[in-house]
Copies of this chain bind each other. A is one copy, B any other.
Amino acid sequence: MNYIIGVDSGGTKTEATAFSLEGEPLEQCITGFGNPLVDYDIAVRNIKKALQTIFSACGKDCKLVVIGLAGVDSSGQKERLESEFSFLKVPIMLINDGKLAHLSILKGKEGILAISGTGSLVLGYQTSQWLRVGGWGHLLGDEGSAYDIAKKAIQRVLFEEDSGQTYSELSVSIMNYLQVTDVLSLVKIAYQLNKGEFSKLAAVVGKLSTTNELARGILIKSAEDLAKQTIILINKMGNPQKRISIGINGSVIEKNQLFRKAFFTYLSDNNVKVQECEKTEPTTKGAYYLFKEGWQNK
């Protein structure tokens, strides 16, 4: 039977799912991490293993494999990765993981996906074209991400130190979480943490935000920064008066209600007519929608 495969390759696991041409899930395989930026050889091996398991179960009539991978547009590894899978003798598309999520959540239709996890990105799809705003990484952008929230929280501690204030409840929570008692140690640790560890501080802010005004303010500011980028994208897409489908993806915006509400409130306060799209299917199903919408033209 004819089928297509979607692969969601992440930093912790690789999920491959086969879908019938009617969009029904047929087979699924989960292997280890599939991000080549973490370890190229192991990631490729995990993706291959997942694909071969599906092929064994579903047979030779695979029409398309779509692999969603973080940073594939900018890593310079796209061609090398494509050649890794060419032995499979089926059409392979490697796309940014955000695009796969967009296709899945918006079901292949036009609209915007606002992503806020460790990093952030606003991704638009219109007249078979992809458009983006933000997502330039932790040094240059990623406004409205967990990293951004964590950074704002540490900068608040430093501001209180700089201005000679008593530490606020937020600052005390940040310092307790990192098990430090002075800002020099705080800064030293902050520079030693990797991006993922650093971003976990956002959870401290999220937890406090129900009762603490400073934490609440940081979350709202971050959500509004993401909304501002969404408005830049809407303007770039033209026709800002039109009702626009907007989906959301990523731990921060999916799980933090305050952040999510502040994001959509800012949009409606700025006259954006929103059609909210709920996430109802696995990310891998983006491959099915891409096939259905005519992947050959992308």
Task: Give the contacting residue for A76; candidates B151, B163, B164, B188; CB below 8 A.
Answer: B188
Given A136-B187, A158-B136, A158-B140, are A163 and B74 neighbors across the interface (CB < 8 Å)? no
Does A88 count as interface, using CB distance less than 8 angstroms? Answer: no
Are A155 and B140 within 8 A (Cβ)?
A: yes
* Total chain A interface residues with beta-carbon distance under 8 A: 28
Binding site for B on A (CB under 8 A): 73-74, 76, 132-134, 136-137, 139-141, 151, 154-155, 158, 162-164, 184, 187-188, 190-191, 229, 232-233, 235-236
Which residue from chain B places its CB closest to the CB of A162 in the assembled complex? B133
Which residue from chain B places its CB closest to the CB of A237 in the assembled complex? B164
Are B151 and A187 within 8 A (Cβ)?
A: no
- Could you give 21 example pairs across A and B, Cβ below 8 Å? A73-B184, A74-B184, A74-B187, A74-B188, A133-B162, A133-B163, A134-B162, A136-B155, A136-B158, A137-B187, A137-B191, A139-B139, A139-B190, A140-B151, A140-B154, A140-B158, A140-B190, A141-B158, A162-B233, A163-B232, A163-B236
Are B164 and A236 within 8 A (Cβ)?
A: yes
Beyond the given pairs A137-B187, A162-B229, A164-B236, 20 more chain A to chain B contacts, judged by CB atoms under 8 angstroms and listed by A's residue number, are A73-B184, A74-B184, A74-B187, A74-B188, A76-B188, A132-B162, A133-B162, A133-B163, A134-B162, A136-B158, A136-B187, A139-B151, A140-B151, A140-B154, A140-B155, A140-B187, A140-B190, A141-B158, A162-B233, A163-B232
- A141: chain B residues within 8 A (beta carbon): 155, 158
Given A140-B190, A187-B137, are A236 and B151 neighbors across the interface (CB < 8 Å)? no
- A132: chain B residues within 8 A (beta carbon): 162
Which residue from chain B places its CB closest to the CB of A158 in the assembled complex? B136
Given A137-B187, A139-B151, A140-B154, are A162 and B74 neighbors across the interface (CB < 8 Å)? no
- A139: chain B residues within 8 A (beta carbon): 139, 151, 190-191
Shortest Cβ distance from residue A276 to the other chain B in the assembled complex, whole angstroms: 23
Shortest Cβ distance from residue A27 to the other chain B in the assembled complex, whole angstroms: 35
- A164: chain B residues within 8 A (beta carbon): 236
